[in-house]
Structure 1
Amino acid sequence: MTNGLDHATLKEKQRAIRAGFPETMGLRAHRALSWIDRAEQCGEDHDGRFIFLWIAFNAAYADEREFQAIAPGERAAFADYFGRLIEFDNEQRIYKALWQQFSGPVRLLMENRYVFNPFWQYHNGIDGFENWEDRFTTSARSFAAAFQSGDSARVLSFVFDRLYVLRNQLVHGGATWNSGVNRAQVRDGAEILAFLMPVFIDIMMDHPHENWGRPFYPVVE
């Protein structure tokens, strides 16, 4: 990992400080780290790495509210989580990753219609998405404005909107494993997640008593 964080480093830190974690935080860190560990074993299997890292992301952020009758919606939950991460990212590690290391892959992701949900809504004949190209242009402009103003939380929301479409394609069988089609977005998506997820977990472990939400699937004896 180019950020100096890998599973072994984070696990060592977790073991040293986990006695002071609230139960919910302890569970989140333990689960998310286990999936980061599995992702690291994938080597060049970018599909597998992306999927395992997305599970780590779910383990880190998913709140029980999402499973209740009236959920805030995926994007709203993302935005809430990202806002808290940015608030506690005192060293601006997320900002530096987005603007320096991953500015190219992130921009390519935002320019790719195949990870833009309205494109697929239109392609599948769903009414109301005939203007997907206008939406795509508007989204790109809004992203550029957020990127240029240094609004890291909003940029993360845009990026994960696109990664969520990629996640759906893979998890719901809408792609072929190791396919030659759209390979760059899977590889770049896995690289972005592989860098950001350890940072997310590290920030959470540095602030274990903040309200990171309650996991919906606790350990039940």
Structure 2
Amino acid sequence: MVELSPTLVFVAILFSAPLQFYLSARSTSDAQFYLHEFVQQVREVYGRYFGAIFGGWDLFEEEDEVEEMGHGKMPNAGEEETVDEDSLGEKGEVGRDLFGGSDEPRHPRPPHIKYRVGQVVRHRIHNYRGVIIAWDEKAKAPEWWIKKVHGDVPVDEPNYTLLIDTRDRLIPQIAYVVERNIVLLSSGAIVHPLVKHYFESFDGTCYKSRPWHKKVYPND
């Protein structure tokens, strides 16, 4: 029986899978995401089987692994998902790396993120309108806030930060909403004092991010 060297086994693993990622991807962004996931898996296999041989040498020094999404249950329908003032910046903008406030570039863009920054949406339960200014693959918020809004049910799904239209709420508010609680609107601008902070124009259906904001969401 022919014995294959560890190196040949590793090379076979390395080149056996990329094609299926490209065949299954629906766009360039999707292909980038699947390739990124593949590289992370190769890193894991390499580290597990060959790390000791090469003294822990890492051939694939890349960004941190993108967490795989699960499917959470519906959060408490009666609870508001608004963000309190203590969690906002000096000018009322989202900050502190919570509620979508991280300035870490969202690249590659996971294909399961349904909505994009700049899109206008409506809350399915509370019926207010808003514009998306940020998103996270899953909730990044204080534990007390998650427990208050969602109870003890884990929320392993994308969360979106919205500027709520002041025609629907007299006091300017920001919300952090799970994906299943919003629906896309085909038209209509949003009235909120922070709209111009994040966006430079509106084409009738979607807002265009300012350059600094676009750097965080290059594929949106």
Q: Tell me if TM exceeds 0.5.
A: no
Decide which structure has greater strand share: 2
TM value normalised by structure 2: 0.24
Of Structure 1 and Structure 2, which has the larger fraction of its residues in helix? 1
Structure number with bigger Rg:
2
Per the normalisation by structure 1, the TM-score is 0.24
Structure with more contact order per residue of length (Cα contacts < 8 Å, sep ≥ 6): 1
